[in-house]
Chain A
Amino acid sequence: MTQPEITLDQIRSGRTVRVVRIAGGWGIQQRLNQLGIHPADRIEVLRNGILGGPVLIRTHGIDMALGRGMARHVAVTADASKSGKPEADV
């Protein structure tokens, strides 16, 4: 991919995106993985942009709020046209 990376904090409310990768160290990757955010997962952005506050997302039927700092670690692609199946390791 040559185009600049989009991160989760830049996605407008109501859009669905797919995770490309999780940037950051061991702790951040582990934490996001454990809560259910992995590369290739679909994420629906429910709310974003309240006073520069957290991003409210839904993934695997779980609602969670990610602080902006956290959301910046999640690189996503706006293309969510593929089916919901995870491609574990491509």
Chain B
Amino acid sequence: MMIPPRGDVLTESVEKKEKRHGRKSGLIAKKRTFEHPQIVLVGQPNCGKSTLFNEVAGYRSVASNFPGATVTYTRSHVRVLDRTADIVDLPGIYSLTSLDPAASEGQRYLLTHRVDVIINVVDSSILSRGLELTLQLLDLEIPLVLCLNMTDEAERKGIRIDVEALSRELGIPVVATVASRGLGVRELFNTALSAMRSPHPGRHLRFSRDVERIIGRLSRELKEKAGEDLPFSRHLLATKLLEGDAAFLELLHERYPGLIPRVETGARELALSHGRSAHEVINAERHAISMSLFERVAVVRKPVLHLKDRADSLLMHPLWGYVFLCLILGGFFYLVFKLGGLAEAPVLSLFEQLKTSLTARIPSGTLARALAGSLIDGLAGGTAIVLPYLLPFLIGLSLLEDAGYLPRVAFLMDTFMHRIGLHGTAVIPAVLGYGCNVPAVMATRILESPRDRFIATFVATLVPCAARMTIIFGLVGYYLGGLAAFAIYLINLAVIGLSGNLLSRLLPADTPGMIIEIPVYHAPRLRSVAAKTWFRIREFVYIALPLLLAGSLILTLVDHLNWSDLINGLTRPVTVLLGLPPEVGLTLIFGILRKELSMLMLFQALGTRDVISVLSAGQIWVFTIFVVFYVPCLATIGALYRQLGAKRTLFVVLYTFVIALMLGLAARGLAAVL
């Protein structure tokens, strides 16, 4: 299980501060100074912001290849060209209208924090759509630099962009980059630092006259009422109010309720004269401006087709798509299982040798010897049993993510996900859940409706994460064979399906349906995969291993003081019910701290790593099933609490406990029959 990355911790504290001063200040911008510049990266989802961020900030932000990978912002303190600056990676937003949590967060950040210069990152291969956001950013009247990213991809698609012409048209600096290869990145930040002092905030590209007339009128009315009290562009505010943006309307409601009827009049006028609602009119205008701008600055030729453009004819095929899905995911798990098993035995025997040679020097029967022995056992459990499975799994997951396969899985699985009242996008957090439930819970933010987010979060916590995978492979796989391990995954899928179905019946709703972009495949880059794997594995190294060692020592002490019976007595109801030896009780408590501990502490509690000599095959089976399902680990409970609040978190905890007990009992029955 993983603790959220550093950036999130920072976000938390910033968010808390906002809440404290919160409400009253609303959407009010901070003053700008040039000391310690604040550079903010803004762009549409999957345009390569995080890649760019990582290029300058070192690997701090998890870049992936699916839209909405960054759900909260990451700030990094860096030295850019001999100056210290803060670079902020905002979640991808399509527009400044607050439509989903990510967009609201982005919008709120831009309007309430000090921002000295915005770097607007655009995927050059889909420039015309990207410009729609650029137009709105220009309206913010904050120094702006346009970063034409992924120019290599645009070239491949046959799109050639005249950088200078675009810069002239927009009145802002434009820099072409290929962030994934570090091209143009230096120039970009150089330009951003000088643009910061620029008195020209860029040209405003205006809508057609009748639309501007209504925006202008509302803007004047805002000025009369509010004067200079609104430090950001009134043009933007008026436009967003006419578009019906909830956040801005709320601001108006709080401060100048008298202006609400003026907004309504304006919106009605627009709708009447254009025959469609005001927000449609404004969106259409913005779209038209972007399209014509694109045509003025870009030449589109025939694209160069690569293998990756044809891959989808197989990978998203009505039949072959599913065959490949099974092959890819099945092959992936099989490989992890095989590689892990291959490494497990030799590393274990290495530790065994170490233990005998080390403990031979300490007199037997003393506490010191017992402690030294348990320390080595703890270390052995962590490195020989967990790491061999965890490492290949996390590498594989990073590869699938970076290549861009996950949105394809969402496409293929949409129909099935509807059975549990969700749509295909919910597959992404579920798949990430196989790595770790914490980022999976956070990734549910890519879903729009709160109800969908709840069900998806619930499903994600049921998914056996990599830590639980090590238990499945290390115990059931190792002692009962691969088929039994596979059966646990199938049982788990069935439980997820039934639980999701049950929950969606309890919370019936028309889900708004899936819209997901299918990004171009990218060859995963070694650096990014390595960084991401390290990012995820370091939680194990820094948090799980020390906990594990401390746990081993505590267990030895508890044993030494003869307290184990006391503690195991508390968990007796569970162990008796499941037909497990009482010593197992303590390991279940450790398992709530971190899932893999329940297996590793099992070795300690039983006093051997050769579990089969103490537990029957049936008991191993029951233990594993119970551990896979019962209560999410502490880090996940923390993430759940933040996402769902106390009541629903408690529901998840109790539900998983009851399910685990029921399944454990059923497993015991099954084991008795076989």
Contacts and interface: CB of A to CB of B under 8 A. Distances in A.
Interface of A: 21-22, 26-36, 38-39, 47, 49-54, 56, 60-71, 85-86, 88-89
A30 B281 CA distance: 11
Nearest to A41: B287
A64 B287 contact: no
Contacts of B513: 66-71
Contacts of B99: 27, 30-31, 34
A69 B516 contact: no
Contacts of B448: 27, 31
A85 B415 CA distance: 35
B316 interface: yes
B653 interface: no
Given A51-B415, A56-B316, A56-B411, A61 B125 contact: yes
Interface in B123-147: 125-126, 128-129, 132
Interface string B100-133: 0000000000000000000000000110110010
Contacts of A56: 316, 411, 518
A62 B516 CA distance: 11
Nearest to B520: A63
By size class, the interface of chain B is 35 or more
Contacts of A38: 283-284, 287
A39 to B, nearest CB: 7
B285 interface: yes
Contacts of B318: 47, 49-51
Contact of B514 (A28, A34, A50, A65): A65
13 contacts: A30-B97, A33-B283, A34-B94, A50-B321, A51-B415, A52-B415, A53-B415, A53-B424, A60-B126, A63-B517, A70-B512, A71-B513, A89-B274
Which 5 residue pairs across A and B have the least CB separation, nearest first? A88-B288, A69-B513, A67-B514, A67-B513, A34-B94
A28 B414 contact: no
A88 B517 CA distance: 24
Contacts of B519: 63
Contact of B516 (A22, A32, A65, A88): A65
B129 A30 contact: no
B407 interface: yes
A27 B283 contact: no
A32 B132 CA distance: 13
A89 B208 contact: yes
A50 B94 CA distance: 28
B518 A65 contact: yes
Pick the most buried of A47, A51, A85, A89: most chain B CB atoms within 10 A of its CB.
A89
B511 A69 contact: yes
A51 to B, nearest CB: 5
Nearest to A88: B288
B244 interface: yes
B244 A88 contact: no
